[in-house]
């Protein structure tokens, strides 16, 4: 018997049975990858190697190889850091919040979204380490006994809060992701023929046998971790925004930053999930499980969060005008009309105007349009961070100190390298881990698949 209205579109198409789901989820792990996977993987490896070369060059030579100067001491490094942290938000939001709200459409996309979170936070974590310059003395930031002279960690600094917030977020997200994988590891273990593969997945599955007791503990742990992850989604980017909001630089010291950064993080994170899902459904042949209905639901969230970000931009402009502080007013006027005007209007076009096209249902359900728009959103969110950081710094209180920032090949190489590294991790994940939570997906087969809906009719 179906407990779901027939008017709802099916979430599983292709007349799948329970056995078909097991076969389809296990196939990418048990068969050789197709040409699309190899093409993407090869390109990503080249980008990653270029980025690693630039990172080693930076560490060996110093951060002077970046385009920084006396006026602009933060630029692409912190822009990329905040951008990657933002992308890492959607995975936990999809998994944790939608789990708490019992949304069935999350089941086909939560696994990849969680993996995206882990890999994005890994990229974000690289930038504070690189930015140190002398990475081998990184242990100085830890609150060790005073044996290095008068050097103590400043616990009042938001930069230190970042370390605790992001490491906690990474740890909880990793456990949450792994918890969901255990039943699927057991599926691969039971199907494995090669002894080495069987042994590896036996270790990974932690002796899972699928008993009622195991499922009960799995369910309880999933809800507990979802409850822990939900406030972390809000806290992590709130703390990242404090890096700017607690300063006295015009354009930064504003109380709207915490909610504005959180909304922007969810916005960019969902766009990246959309990009990856559209690639993955092609690369590992998951069109029956990642359907137009899933794509449309994601696009609705992108449209809503894009509208919230647009309101935040307008609020910033209004408060700058209403404050009567000429420095604050000039900071925003300079963003829109100064030398970096192109970055401001690229941000506004990609983040505010383009998502409003999602009100048109035919566009919202168009795969090519969705893919292009999801890339546009992430370009726009990168420009948002660039606009906040660079255009607020390049013209400060002293006109004699004004300067421009131009990235060097090292800045560009490190950024492209992190994208390559991210894609390498994600593509390897798609070949070694079950990309969809098959055990959970089977629970909605009778209520949300086209087979059973048609049979009922």
Candidates 110, 101, 113, 108; CA nearest to 10 is 108
Number of domains in the chain: 1
Give the pLDDT score at 317. Answer: 86
Low-confidence ranges of the chain (pLDDT < 50): 1-2, 456-457
- A 10 A CB-CB count for 156 gives 8
Decide: residue 97, CB within 10 A, 0-12 exposed, 13-18 middle, 19+ buried: middle
**CA 362/CA 366 separation, integer angstroms:** 6
Got the DSSP string for 149-212? SS----TT-HHHHHHHHHHHHHHHHHHHHHHHHHHHHHHHHHH--SHHHHHHHHHHTTT----H
Element (H, E) at 277: helix 257-283
pLDDT at residue 448 in the model: 66
Q: How many CA atoms lie within 13 A of 420 on its CB side?
A: 19
Assess if residue 3 is contained within a domain: no
Q: Do the domain assignments include residue 11?
A: no
Q: Is 12 a domain residue?
A: no
Give how far Cα 164 sits from Cα of 119, 175, 229, 236, 355, Å. Answer: 18, 17, 14, 9, 33
Distance CA 418, CA 124 (A): 9
What pLDDT score does 3 carry?
52
pLDDT score, position 450: 63
> Quick check: is 184 in a domain?
yes
Q: Is 271 in contact with 377 (CB distance < 8 Å)?
A: yes
Q: Which domain holds residue 297?
A: 18-134+153-456
Please, what is the end-to-end C-alpha distance for the chain in angstroms? 11
Of 444, 433, 431, 432, nearest to 18 by C-alpha is 444
Q: Tell me how far apart the alpha carbons of residues 230 and 176 are, in angstroms, rounded to a whole number.
A: 12
């Amino acid at each position: 018997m179906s407990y779901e209205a027939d008017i709802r579109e099916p979430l599983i198409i292709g007349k799948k049975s329970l056995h078909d789901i097991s076969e389809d989820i296990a196939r990418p792990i048990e068969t050789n990858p197709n040409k699309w996977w190899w093409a993407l993987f090869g390109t990503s490896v080249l980008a990653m190697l270029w980025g690693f070369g630039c990172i080693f060059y930076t560490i060996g030579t110093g951060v002077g190889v970046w385009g920084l100067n006396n006026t602009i001491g933060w630029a692409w490094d912190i822009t990329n850091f905040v951008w990657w942290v933002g992308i890492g938000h959607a995975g936990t939001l999809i998994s944790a919040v939608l789990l708490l709200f019992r949304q069935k459409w999350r089941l086909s996309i939560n696994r990849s979204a969680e993996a995206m979170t882990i890999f994005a936070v890994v990229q974000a974590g690289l930038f504070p380490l690189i930015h140190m310059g002398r990475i081998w003395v990184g242990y100085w930031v830890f609150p060790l006994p005073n044996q290095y002279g008068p050097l103590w960690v400043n616990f009042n600094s938001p930069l230190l809060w970042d370390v605790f917030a992001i490491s906690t977020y990474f740890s909880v997200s990793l456990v949450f992701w792994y918890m969901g994988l255990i039943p699927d590891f057991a599926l691969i273990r039971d199907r494995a023929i090669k002894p080495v593969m069987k042994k590896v997945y036996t270790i990974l599955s932690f002796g899972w046998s699928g008993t009622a007791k195991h499922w009960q503990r799995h369910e309880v742990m999933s809800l507990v971790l979802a409850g822990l992850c939900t406030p972390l989604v809000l806290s992590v980017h709130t703390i990242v925004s404090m890096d700017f909001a607690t300063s006295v630089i015009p354009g930064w010291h504003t109380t709207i930053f915490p909610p504005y950064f959180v909304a922007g993080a969810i916005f960019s994170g969902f766009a990246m999930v959309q990009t990856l899902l559209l690639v993955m459904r092609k690369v590992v042949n998951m069109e029956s499980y990642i359907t137009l209905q899933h794509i449309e639901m994601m696009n609705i969230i992108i449209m809503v969060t894009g509208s919230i970000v647009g309101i935040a931009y307008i609020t910033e402009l209004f408060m700058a005008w209403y404050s009567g502080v000429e420095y604050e007013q000039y900071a925003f006027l300079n963003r829109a009309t100064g030398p970096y005007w192109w970055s401001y209007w690229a941000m506004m076009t990609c983040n505010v105007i383009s998502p409003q096209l999602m009100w048109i249902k035919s566009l919202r359900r168009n795969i090519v349009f969705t893919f292009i728009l999801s890339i546009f959103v992430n370009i726009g969110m990168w420009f948002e961070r660039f606009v906040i950081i660079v255009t607020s710094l390049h013209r400060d209180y002293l006109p004699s100190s004004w300067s421009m920032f131009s990235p060097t090949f090292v800045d560009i190489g490190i950024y492209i390298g992190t994208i390559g590294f991210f894609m390498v991790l994600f593509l390897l994940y798609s070949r070694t881990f079950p990309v969809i939570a098959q055990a959970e997906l089977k629970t909605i087969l009778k209520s949300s698949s086209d087979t059973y809906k048609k049979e009922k009719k």
